[in-house]
């Protein structure tokens, strides 16, 4: 389709079609019947889309199975029984419909010579092919809307101009005077060669023809032979004596990038018959040319181009719109290609061979173009398609490059001889199917109201009818009164007067003139009558128009009213919209306020929660405090209870002793009185008491300067031997886990004993940990101490079991003489002790400072003090000064008898806060500490280091005494 423009023709979107949709080339296959002389068939139609090729028997035998049975699929396969009509219906009809709807189409037949290409394209008498059927369909569809001849006029540049009626008439008259071309036949005047090509029943029509357009069909017919283009419709004078060879044409590209044959004849045809005639003219010329050029028709390509020009009618629906821009030209090319067989097959020689080569060359180029196109489309490459290499491909370049519908009918002859060539044809056809061509886009119709032609026609008919009613129409065709009068108009007689006395001529002339005058009068009358009639008709029309105008006015009024209502409603809508906007704004504000309140609520809630949490924390803290206080109260209560008990016991003993002394005295007195010998009966107790008394004396003035506000134990006032003999049974608390300080003391003792004496000893645990009284390590240690406590001397067992003193198993304790150089102290400070750096420090002059007690130091001193630190129940570090006296044991070892405990309290500088410590110490710890508050009770024991025991450094707690074996 070509859109024409005045001056500057708009460029056709050839390179970049606006339509992205593409359709593959439609490839159809037609199998012709086997010829009478042929026997073997190599093609089988399997389905209506597939055929199968069988290699002929001879070939199979020769090539040793090289040829296999192969199947080829097409858009549709037409078998031997397919009629020309059926083929047209499927293949060409859509193309004709496209042509009428301003879309281009290309249809070609491809195959070897004799396969039925020409039969398919042209057909034979009674068997019209695609070409005559296409023409027939075109004229069946557009003939009522055809423009007058020469209204459309091709320019020399493949474009189309539009002329007014007068110019067209002048052109028509010129042609009529110049040539003897017959006018459009009013009836079917068919060339004998084309007689009955298409039966009346088979006639078909396209749908959707635009009735408000005017159409014209132009045909051209060219032949491409030996890569030369010849115009088959060119009118040339043929010299029968010395015929000139036909002149070839060249290809040109128009402004829209369409290729066209420059100077090619385009014949405007007004009917199928006329088009047939033109076609036959071309065919005849082709035959003559072939004879002149000494060639076969099978070696040339013939191209029949049908151009359809269409332009919209003007607003009145009367004439074609005089606007070149509105002219649409679409074309359908019907191509009957040369036989595709190879040169070798024709056994041509010389110029024939060259010619055949050229023909092959153009088909080869077609194949190459299709191949490159396919590759470009499938692989996204941009290879140059060699359209220019042959005239055929060059002419149809825009179909593949631009837009249009392309269809190919592959004709095959099933005869075995053609097998190899048919194979090549099939391969080409399959490849062609994979090429896609841009789908042509729909063109918009012009802006005038539709149905104007019909309205114009209707008006004309109505006018004629009314004129007829009032005395018949003035139409030249039908005999009217005026016509009759005109015909009866008497011719003037010869008016040459023979002489002055000619009486005949003048009166005859006068009579004739009078007659004429009379007729003239009658004609004037008739004319006036008709004019009046016309006037009345027009008046009637006018009144009609008036009433119509009134009606329109009325409708306009109604419209106005409706408009007003609409306006009112619009205003109402505007008002409501404003209101709704206002409400929306209000909602917005409320929403924002709600958000703020919610935010406030959330923050208050948060604050409330945090306060509650704080309160709970404080409550729990209070509860903990309470519990601790209660613990402290219970501890001190217990302590004092025990103290009281102990004091009562001591007092009791003292009283008993006094009683006993008194008893003794009484006895002595009695003995004196009864003259008995009393000197040898010294009881053992008093001797002990004697020992006890100085011990008591030495203990009461405490050697340790009590410089702090420590709670000094009243133990110092007790007799240690008493304690030893009358000692309370091992306090279960002492054995219980949690006896931190004594356990650590034991470990210190262990460290003081040579390693070899111990079996399976463990490395000492971390000192600081011990100082802080970590329960697990300590309990382990304690457990071990008790495990070693197994071997017990029978005497000790006695003591344990009876709880009475049954006689000392060792020699009585020996106290070092105080006169031997004052009191000397063993100042035992375990390394694990924390240096408290307090201002008030115990000061012991004349002391041997040791980290662990050893025999050497003990042997030199008579007093012993252990500075022991432990964790008090309230989490503070509590320092205890455990004092004792050193005795020499019978075995040669040293024994310490604890006599006094001073408890000093000091805030632990290492503990960051009370709270933390209290949280760190578990309930176990607290109870343990509680146990140790009455350590004084338990410290009234004597411990003896046992030396040389093969059991290792064991500590015997029987009677709280440790002895060294001899
Ligand atoms: P091509 O143009 O391919 O060389 P033609 O169209 O000239 O072949 O066909 C050769 C012969 O075969 C013609 O006589 C034609 O009538 C006949 N023929 C071809 N196709 C058919 C067909 N489908 N039905 C009947 N006859 C056919
Ligand atoms: Mg042919």
CATH code: domain of residue 877: 2.60.40.4330
Q: Does the C-beta of 114 come closer than 6 Å to ligand 1? A: yes
User: Quick one: 494 exposed, middle or buried, by C-beta within 10 A (0-12, 13-18, 19+)?
Assistant: exposed
Question: Is 880 strand, coil or helix?
Answer: strand
| Ligand with an atom nearest the CA of residue 120 | 1
> Would you list the DSSP string of 8-54?
SPPPP--SS-S---EEE-EEEEEEPPPPSS---B-EEE-SSSEEEE-
Angle at alpha carbon of residue 569, lines to 564 and 574, rounded to 5°: 125
Choose the final residue of a domain: 392, 413, 434: 413
> CB-hemisphere CA count at 13 Å for 563?
6
Tell me the β-bridge partners of 380.
none
Q: Residue 897's domain spans which residues?
A: 850-904
Following DSSP, what letter does each residue of 500-520 receive, concatenated?
A: TT-TTHHHHHHHHHHHHHHHH
For the domain that residue 312 is a member of, what is the CATH number?
Answer: 3.40.850.10
Determine the pLDDT at residue 705.
39
Residue 664 lies in a domain: no
Probe target for ligand 1 pocket from 30, 32, 110, 117, with the most ligand atoms within 8 Å of CB: 32
Nearest of 749, 727, 763 to residue 937 by alpha carbon: 727
Residue 651 annotated as binding? no
6 by Cβ neighbours in 10 Å (0-12 / 13-18 / 19+) ranks as: exposed
Determine contact, residues 225/311, Cβ cutoff 8 Å.
no
Report which DSSP code applies to 347: T
**Ligand 1 contact, 298 CB (< 6 A):** yes
Tokens in use for 512?
């004739």
Report which protein residue has its CA nearest ligand 1's atom 19: 116
Distance 47 CA to ligand 2 centre (A): 27
Residue 819 within any structural domain of the chain:
no
Whether the Cβ atoms of residue 260 and residue 241 lie closer than 8 Å to each other = no
Q: For residue 950, what is the DSSP state? A: T
What does the alpha-carbon distance between residue 572 and residue 458 come to, in Å, rounded to a whole number? 47
Does residue 115 line the site of ligand 1, with CB under 6 A? yes
Nearest residue (CA) to ligand 1, atom 11 = 114
Query: 414 in ligand 1 pocket by Cβ < 6 Å?
Result: no
For tokens 């219970």, the residue is 634
Strands 436-438, 228-231: parallel, antiparallel or unpaired by DSSP? unpaired
Which of 77, 113, 116 has most ligand 1 atoms within 8 Å of CB, for mutation? Answer: 116
Q: Please check whether residue 181 lies inside any domain of the structure.
A: no
**Which atom of ligand 1 lies at the shortest distance from residue 121's CA?**
6
Q: Say if residues 946 and 753 touch (Cβ distance below 8 Å).
A: no
Give every CB contact of residue 826 below 8 A, 6+ residues apart in sequence. Answer: 847, 848, 850, 853, 857, 858, 861, 863, 864, 865, 886
Q: How far is the CA of 337 from the centre of ligand 2 (A)?
A: 8
Minimum-distance ligand 1 atom for the alpha carbon of 298: 4
Q: Rounded to an integer, what is the distance from CA 654 to the centroid of its chain?
A: 102
- Helix intervals (H) in 873-922: 914-920
Does residue 522 sit in helix, strand or coil?
helix
| Domains held by the chain: number | 2
Distance CA 920, CA 207 (A): 102
Cα torsion through 345, 346, 351, 355, rounded to 10? -80
Could you tell me the CA-to-CA distances from 71 to 33, 45, 79, 367 in Å, in that order? Answer: 19, 10, 15, 21
Ligand 1 contact, 300 CB (< 6 A): no
Are the CB atoms for 760 and 920 separated by under 8 Å?
no
**Cα(494)–Cα(706) distance, rounded to whole angstroms?**
189
Alpha helices, H only, 703-757? 720-725, 732-735, 740-752
Kindly state if the Cβ of 129 falls inside 6 Å of ligand 1. Answer: no
Task: State which residues of the chain have pLDDT below 70.
Answer: 1-19, 59-67, 179-196, 238, 292-297, 343-360, 444-447, 470-483, 485-490, 676-822, 837, 875, 906-966
Number of the ligand closest to the Cα of 301: 2
Whose alpha carbon is nearest atom 18 of ligand 1?
116
Q: Give the per-residue pLDDT at 858.
A: 86
Q: What angle do CA 114, 116, 120 make, to 5 degrees?
A: 155
Q: Indicate whether 842 belongs to any domain.
A: no
Question: Ligand 1 pocket check: which of 35, 108, 119 to mutate, most ligand atoms within 8 Å of Cβ?
Answer: 119
Q: Strands 76-78 and 26-31: what pairing? A: parallel
Consult the annotation and say whether 802 binds a ligand.
no
C-alpha 529/C-alpha 393 separation (Å) is 69
Question: How far is the C-alpha of 589 from the C-alpha of 598, rounded, in Å?
Answer: 14
Long-range contacts of 165-169 (CB under 8 A, 24+ apart): 165/319
Structure tokens at 778: 């300590």
State whether the beta carbon of 113 lies less than 6 angstroms from ligand 1.
yes
- Does residue 116's CB lie within 6 angstroms of at least one atom of ligand 1? yes
Residue 118 labelled as part of a binding site: yes
Q: How far is CA 899 from CA 881, 943, 964, in A?
A: 11, 12, 21
- C-alpha distances (whole Å) from 591 to each of 583, 586, 595 are 12, 8, 6
Q: Is 832 annotated as a binding residue?
A: no
What residues are paired with 146 via a beta bridge? 215
Please say whether the beta carbons of 699 and 720 come within 8 A.
yes
In a domain, 351, yes or no: yes
Smallest-distance ligand from the CA of 110? 1
Asked whether residue 592 is marked as a ligand-binding residue, the answer is no
Report DSSP letters for 403-434, one per residue. B-EEEEEEEE--BGGGHHHHHHHHHHHHHHHT
Residue 818: the pLDDT is 52
CA of 477 to the centre of ligand 1 (A): 49
- 338 C-beta closer than 6 A to ligand 1: no
Q: 135 C-alpha to center of ligand 1: Å? A: 21
Ligand 2 centroid to residue 296 C-alpha, Å: 10
Tens digit of each residue's pLDDT (9 = 90 or more) over 78-116 = 999 999 999 999 999 999 999 999 999 999 999 999 999
Cα 484 to the center of its chain, rounded Å: 89
- 633 lies in a domain? no
Calculate ∠ Cα 410-395-291, nearest 5°. Answer: 75
Q: Is the Cβ–Cβ distance between 409 and 380 less than 8 Å? A: no
With the most atoms of ligand 1 within 8 angstroms of its CB, the residue from 87, 110, 114, 127 to mutate is 114
CB atoms within 10 A of CB 179: 9
* pLDDT at 431 (0 to 100): 92
Give residue-wise pLDDT tens across range 150-203.
999 998 899 999 998 888 888 888 887 776 545 444 444 445 555 567 777 788
113 in a known ligand binding site: yes
Beta strand 825-828 with 50-53: parallel, antiparallel or unpaired?
unpaired
Residue of the CA atom closest to atom 10 of ligand 1: 114
Residue 275 within any structural domain of the chain: yes
Q: How far apart are CA 87 and CA 98, in angstroms?
A: 17
From ligand 1's centre to the CA of 114, what distance in Å?
6
Nearest in space to 417 (alpha carbons), one of 34, 72, 116: 34
How many whole angstroms separate alpha carbon 414 and alpha carbon 393? Answer: 28
Q: 505-673 and 923-932 helices cross at what angle (nearest 10)?
A: 20
Q: How far apart are CA 164 and CA 151, in angstroms?
A: 6
If one counts every other C-beta atom within 10 angstroms of the C-beta of residue 197, the result is 25
How far, in Å, from the CA of 87 to the mean position of ligand 1?
14
Residue 122 C-alpha to ligand 2 middle, in angstroms? 9
Q: State the Cα–Cα distance between residues 722 and 653, nearest whole angstrom.
A: 9
Q: Which helix (H) or strand (E) holds 252?
A: strand 251-253
The count of C-alpha atoms lying within 13 angstroms of the C-alpha of 232, restricted to the half-sphere facing its C-beta, is 27
Separation between Cα atoms, residue 329 and residue 309, nearest integer Å: 4
Final residue of a structural domain among 876, 904, 932: 904
Is residue 530 annotated as involved in ligand binding? Answer: no
Q: Does ligand 1 lie within 6 Å of residue 124's CB atom? A: yes
Largest CA distance in the chain: 248
Cβ of 125 less than 6 Å from ligand 1? no
C-beta of residue 858 within 8 angstroms of C-beta of residue 894: yes
Which atom in ligand 1 lies closest to the alpha carbon of residue 124? 16
247 C-alpha to ligand 2 centroid (Å): 23
Three-state DSSP state, 648: helix
pLDDT at 499: 74
752 is in an annotated binding site: no
Output the residue whose Cα is nearest ligand 1's atom 24: 32
Q: Measure the N-to-C terminal CA separation of the chain; round to a whole number of Å.
A: 137
298 CA to middle of ligand 2, Å? 5
- H/E stretch holding 224: strand 213-225
Distance between Cα 117 and ligand 1 center (Å): 7
Residues in Cβ contact with 433 at an 8 Å cutoff, skipping those fewer than 6 apart: 24, 25, 27, 74, 75
Does 463 fall in a domain?
no
What's the per-residue H, E or C state across 439-450?
Answer: CCCCCCCCCCCC
Per 3-state DSSP, the chain is made up of helix, strand and coil in percentages (nearest 5) of 45, 15, 35
Q: What is the pTM of this model?
A: 0.53
Q: Among 413, 446, 478, which residue terminates a domain?
A: 413
* Integer CA distances (angstroms), 733 to 169, 626, 726, 899, in order: 144, 25, 18, 20
| Residue 304, CA distances (Å) to 121, 202, 365, 869 in order | 10, 22, 21, 126
């Amino acid at each position: 389709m070509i859109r024409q423009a005045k001056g500057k023709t708009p460029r056709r979107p050839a390179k970049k079609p606006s339509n992205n949709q593409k359709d593959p080339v439609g490839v159809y296959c037609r199998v012709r019947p086997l010829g009478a002389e042929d026997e073997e068939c190599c093609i089988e139609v399997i389905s209506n889309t597939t055929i199968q090729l069988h290699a002929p028997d001879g070939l199979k035998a020769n090539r040793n199975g090289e040829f296999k049975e192969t199947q080829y699929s097409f858009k549709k396969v037409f078998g031997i029984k397919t009629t020309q009509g059926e083929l047209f219906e499927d293949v060409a009809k859509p193309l004709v419909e496209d042509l009428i709807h301003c879309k281009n189409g290309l249809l070609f037949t491809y195959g070897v010579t004799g396969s039925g290409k020409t039969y398919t394209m042209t057909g034979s008498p009674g068997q019209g092919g695609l070409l005559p059927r296409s023409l027939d369909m075109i004229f069946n569809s557009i003939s009522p809307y055809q423009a007058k001849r020469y209204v459309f006029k091709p320019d020399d540049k493949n474009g189309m101009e539009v002329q007014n009626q007068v110019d067209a008439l002048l052109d028509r008259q010129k042609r009529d005077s110049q040539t003897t071309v017959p006018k459009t036949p009013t009836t079917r005047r068919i060339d004998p060669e084309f007689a009955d090509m298409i039966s009346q029943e088979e006639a078909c029509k396209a749908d959707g023809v635009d009735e408000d357009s005017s159409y014209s069909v132009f045909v051209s017919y060219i032949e491409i032979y030996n890569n030369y283009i010849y115009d088959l419709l060119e009118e040339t004078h043929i010299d029968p004596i010395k015929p000139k060879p036909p002149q070839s044409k060249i290809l040109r590209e128009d402004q829209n990038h369409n290729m066209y044959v420059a100077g090619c004849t385009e014949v405007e045809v007004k009917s199928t018959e006329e088009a047939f005639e033109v076609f036959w003219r071309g065919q005849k010329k082709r035959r003559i040319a072939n004879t002149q050029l000494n060639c076969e028709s099978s070696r040339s390509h013939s191209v029949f181009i049908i151009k359809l020009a269409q332009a919209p009618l003007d607003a009145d629906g009367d004439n074609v719109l005089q606007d070149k821009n509105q002219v649409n030209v679409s074309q359908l090319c019907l191509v009957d290609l040369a036989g595709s067989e190879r040169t070798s097959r024709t056994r041509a020689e010389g110029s024939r061979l060259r010619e055949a080569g050229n023909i092959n060359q153009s088909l080869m180029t077609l194949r190459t173009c299709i191949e490159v196109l396919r590759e470009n489309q499938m692989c996204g490459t941009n290879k140059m398609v060699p359209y220019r290499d042959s005239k055929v491909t060059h002419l149809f370049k825009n179909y593949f490059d631009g837009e249009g519908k392309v269809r190919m009918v592959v004709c095959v002859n099933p005869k075995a001889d053609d097998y190899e060539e048919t194979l090549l044809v099939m391969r080409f056809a399959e490849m062609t199917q994979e090429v896609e061509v841009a789908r042509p886009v729909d063109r918009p119709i012009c802006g005038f109201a539709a149905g104007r032609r019909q309205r114009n026609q209707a008006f004309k008919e109505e006018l004629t009818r009314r004129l007829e009613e009032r005395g018949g129409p003035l139409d030249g065709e039908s005999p009217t009164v005026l016509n009759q009068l005109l015909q009866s108009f008497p011719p003037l007689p010869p008016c040459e007067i023979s002489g002055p006395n000619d009486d005949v001529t003048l009166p005859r002339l006068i009579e004739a003139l009078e007659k004429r005058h009379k007729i003239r009068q009658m004609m004037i009358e008739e004319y006036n009558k008709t004019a009046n009639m016309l006037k009345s008709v027009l008046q009637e029309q006018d009144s009609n128009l008036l009433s119509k105008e009134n009606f329109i006015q009325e409708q306009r009024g109604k419209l106005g009213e409706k408009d007003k209502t609409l306006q009112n409603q619009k205003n109402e809508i505007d008002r409501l919209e404003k209101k709704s906007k206002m409400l929306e704004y209000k909602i917005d504000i409320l929403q924002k306020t709600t958000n703020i309140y919610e935010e406030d609520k959330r923050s208050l809630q948060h604050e409330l929660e945090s306060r509650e949490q704080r309160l709970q924390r404080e409550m729990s803290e209070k509860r903990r405090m309470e519990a601790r206080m209660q613990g402290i109260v219970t501890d001190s209560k217990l302590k004092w209870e025990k103290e009281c008990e102990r004091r009562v016991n001591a007092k009791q003993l003292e009283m008993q002793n006094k009683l006993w002394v008194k008893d003794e005295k009484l006895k002595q007195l009695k003995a004196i009185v009864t003259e008995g010998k009393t000197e040898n009966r010294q009881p053992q107790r008093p001797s002990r008491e004697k020992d006890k008394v100085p011990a008591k004396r030495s203990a009461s003035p405490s050697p340790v300067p009590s410089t702090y506000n420590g709670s000094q134990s009243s133990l110092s006032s007790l007799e240690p031997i008493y304690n030893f003999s009358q000692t309370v049974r091992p306090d279960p608390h002492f054995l219980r886990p949690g006896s931190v300080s004594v356990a650590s003391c034991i470990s210190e003792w262990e460290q003081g004993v040579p390693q070899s004496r111990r079996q399976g000893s463990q490395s000492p645990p971390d000192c600081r940990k011990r100082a802080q009284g970590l329960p697990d390590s300590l309990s382990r240690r304690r457990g071990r101490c008790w495990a070693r406590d197994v071997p017990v001397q029978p005497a000790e067992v006695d003591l344990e079991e009876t709880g009475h003193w049954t006689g000392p198993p060792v020699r009585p304790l020996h106290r070092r003489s105080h006169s031997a150089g004052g009191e000397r102290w063993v100042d035992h400070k375990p390394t694990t002790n924390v240096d408290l750096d307090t201002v008030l420090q115990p000061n012991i002059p004349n002391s041997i400072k040791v980290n662990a007690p050893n025999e050497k130091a003990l042997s030199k001193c008579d007093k012993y003090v252990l500075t022991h630190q432990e964790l008090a129940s309230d989490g503070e570090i509590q320092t205890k000064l455990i004092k004792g006296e050193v005795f020499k044991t019978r075995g040669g070892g040293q024994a310490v008898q604890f006599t006094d405990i001073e408890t000093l309290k000091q805030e632990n500088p290492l503990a960051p806060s009370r709270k933390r410590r209290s949280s760190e110490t578990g309930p176990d710890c607290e109870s343990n500490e509680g146990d140790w508050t009455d350590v004084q009770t338990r410290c009234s024991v004597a411990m003896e280091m046992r030396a040389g025991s093969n059991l290792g450094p064991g500590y015997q707690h029987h009677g709280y005494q440790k002895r060294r074996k001899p």
